[in-house]
Amino acid sequence: MTVTVPEAVRGIIGKSRLRHDLGTDSLRQANLTKGRHVEKFRAQIRSALATVGDKRLDLDREACELAEWKAWAKAHPCSVGPGDWEAWRECVGQRTAEIRGEGAIWHQDLPIEEGENENLAEGWEFLPGSVQRGNYFRQVAHGEATPVDARHSEYMADKQGKLQARTLADDNRAMKLLLRWLAAENIPPSLESITKKRAQSFAKILPVLANVGPATANKYLSRLSSYWQWLSGVADAAAVNPWRGVALAGARPRDDEKERAFTNGEVARLLSGPATPHMHDLMMLGALTGARLDVIVDLQVGDISADAIQFQSRKRETSERLVPIHPDLKALLERRCAGKKPDEDLFPEWPPVRKAGSMRERSFKASNNFTDYRRKVGVDEVREGHRRALVNFHSFRRWFITRLRHAGVDEPMIAALVGHKQTSITLGIYSDGELIERAAEAVGRLRIPGVNGESIVEPRVIRVRRNRV
- Could you read off the pLDDT of 269-278 as tens digits, one per residue? 999 999 999 9
Q: What is the pLDDT of residue 393?
A: 95
315 φψ region: left (φ > 0), alpha (ψ -120 to 50), beta (else): left
Averaged pLDDT, 65-84: 88
Q: What is the pLDDT of residue 62?
A: 87
pLDDT digits (tens, 9 = 90+) for 6-35: 554 555 566 767 777 766 666 555 565 666
> What's the gap between Cα 247 and its chain centre?
18
Residue 400 has pLDDT above 70, yes or no: yes
Q: Give dist(CA 259, CA 456) in Å, integer.
A: 22
Residue 404 has pLDDT above 70, yes or no: yes
Q: Give dist(CA 149, CA 383) in Å, integer.
A: 36
Q: Give dist(CA 248, CA 217) in Å, integer.
A: 8
Residue 468 has pLDDT above 50, yes or no: no
Q: What does DSSP assign to residue 303?
A: G
| Among 100-109, 262-271, 364-373, the least confident range | 100-109
Averaged pLDDT, 437-452: 88
Q: What is the helix (H) or strand (E) element at residue 3, kind and residue range?
A: strand 2-4
Supply the mean pLDDT for the chain. 83
Whether the predicted model's global pTM rises above the 0.85 cut: no
Q: For the chain, give the percent of residues with pLDDT over 70.
A: 77
- CB 362 within 8 Å of CB 351: yes
User: If DSSP states are collapsed to H, E and C, what string results for 439-467?
Assistant: HHHHHCCCCCCCCCCCCCCCCCCCCCCCC
Q: What is the pLDDT of residue 50?
A: 52
Q: For the chain, give the percent of residues with pLDDT over 90.
A: 41
Alpha helices (runs of H) in 232-348, residue ranges in sequence order: 264-272, 277-289, 293-297, 330-337
pLDDT band, very low/low/confident/very high, at 457 (cuts 50, 70, 90): confident
Q: What is the pLDDT of residue 54?
A: 56
Give 371: exposed, middle or buried? Use CB within 10 Å, 0-12, 13-18, 19+.
middle
Q: What is the pLDDT of residue 52?
A: 42
pLDDT band, very low/low/confident/very high, at 303 (cuts 50, 70, 90): very high
Residue 143 has pLDDT above 50, yes or no: yes
Residue 251 has pLDDT above 80, yes or no: no
Averaged pLDDT, 444-457: 81
Q: What is the pLDDT of residue 35?
A: 66
Q: What is the pLDDT of residue 221?
A: 95
pLDDT digits (tens, 9 = 90+) for 38-54: 777 767 766 665 544 45
For residue 121, list its beta bridge partners.
Answer: 124
How far is the first Cα of the chain from the last one, in angstroms, to the nearest whole number?
A: 76
Find which of 136-140, 220-224, 236-240, 445-449 is predicted with most confidence, using mean pLDDT.
Answer: 220-224
